[in-house]
Amino acid sequence: MGRLSVNLCGLEMDNPVIPASGTFGFGYEFAEIYDINCLGTFSFKGTTKDARFGNPTPRIAECTSGMINAVGLQNPGVEKVISEELPKLAKCFSKPVMANISGFAVEDYAYTCEKLDKESQVGWLEVNVSCPNVHGGGMSFGTSPEAAAEVVRAVKKVTTKPVIVKLSPNVTDIVAIAKACEEAGADGISLINTMLGMRIDLKTRKPVIANKMGGFSGPAIFPVAVRMVYQVAHAVNIPVIGMGGVSSAEDVIEMMLAGATAVEVGAANLINPCACRDIINDLPRVMDKYGIENLSDIIGGVK
């Protein structure tokens, strides 16, 4: 094990840096830019049981220190992900990958997770109960402890690999939802997904995004994410993946001090395609600056 290595739900990772789902495609697109094997792993594009075209355009709006998106889980469906996307990924990525899964019914989650659980390339299942921009989708599960737990129980019945539940910040008590997921059998928690935001075009006096509202991400939400990671990490006994506005090696260390075992990087990838590689390369310098020998030693270092 090296200075940067961590153990996430029983799987060793060379470093804790993970490109977040929806910002890194299926990986092979970024492999044309740099060797993605430098990553700890990555969470591939959110996958559903059936193919989805996504929301109408425009889907993106720029904001101060962030962005709003309402892509709507556009993806080819789990069957094509398995038959077409994973074989392409296997040619350029030699590590276990994190499969991100969404659904519109408990049965959808179970079906898609069971399919991906059988794939040797998949190391973890990241179950998204938090997407705020698909009508009737993840948010309705992620805002209720009971509903989130129901999804976890259904998925755990049909899978053998670690199940990490991705939570929404658009709730009153995120700790209660995290604890319900842990009690239902979740192996880890990832948070936060995007916050719900909106922009209005002053010329047209209409919402900038066709969906009206979408997921707000970027550096502006980082303090909220750190707070929620701290709260959840100190309330559960399973690993936490922190995300939300992470854009530097310093941010990674701050998230880990708050209690994160690993850290996902989202919007930063859309600004700089090499963001994750650059963060990983900069981690040793920042560790030396703050007297950190091994990253695994600082997880939850702030009480």
| Per-residue pLDDT tens over the stretch 135-182 | 444 456 888 899 899 999 999 999 999 999 999 999 999 999 999 999
3 state DSSP class of 167: coil
What would the DSSP string read from start to end of 99-136? EEE--SSHHHHHHHHHHHHT-TTEEEEEEE---TTSTT
Per-residue model confidence (pLDDT) at position 137:
44
Contact status, residue 67 vs residue 59, Cβ threshold 8 Å: no
**Domains along the sequence of the chain with CATH:** 6-53+76-197+215-298 (3.20.20.70)
pLDDT tops 60 at residue 131? no
Give the active site residues. Answer: 131
Split at pLDDT 50, 70, 90, the class of 105 is confident
pLDDT digits (tens, 9 = 90+) for 31-71: 999 999 999 999 999 999 999 999 999 999 999 999 999 99
Contact status, residue 142 vs residue 126, Cβ threshold 8 Å: no
Split at pLDDT 50, 70, 90, the class of 134 is very low
Per-residue model confidence (pLDDT) at position 139:
53
- Closest to 295 in 3D by CA, of 247, 257, 243, 239: 257
- Closest to 266 in 3D by CA, of 212, 193, 196, 209: 193
Instruction: Show Cβ contacts of residue 33 under 8 Å, excluding neighbours closer than 6 positions.
Output: 273, 274
**pTM strictly above 0.85:** yes
- Residue 214 backbone dihedrals phi, psi, to 5 degrees: -160, -175
pLDDT digits (tens, 9 = 90+) for 175-219: 999 999 999 999 999 999 999 999 999 999 999 999 999 999 999
pLDDT above 70 covers a percentage of the chain that reads 97
196: amino acid identity, one letter: L
pLDDT tops 60 at residue 133? no
Split at pLDDT 50, 70, 90, the class of 130 is confident
Query: How distant is the alpha carbon of residue 185 from its chain centre?
Result: 19
The alpha helices in the chain, defined as continuous H runs, are 28-31, 78-80, 86-90, 106-117, 138-142, 145-157, 174-183, 222-233, 249-258, 268-271, 275-289
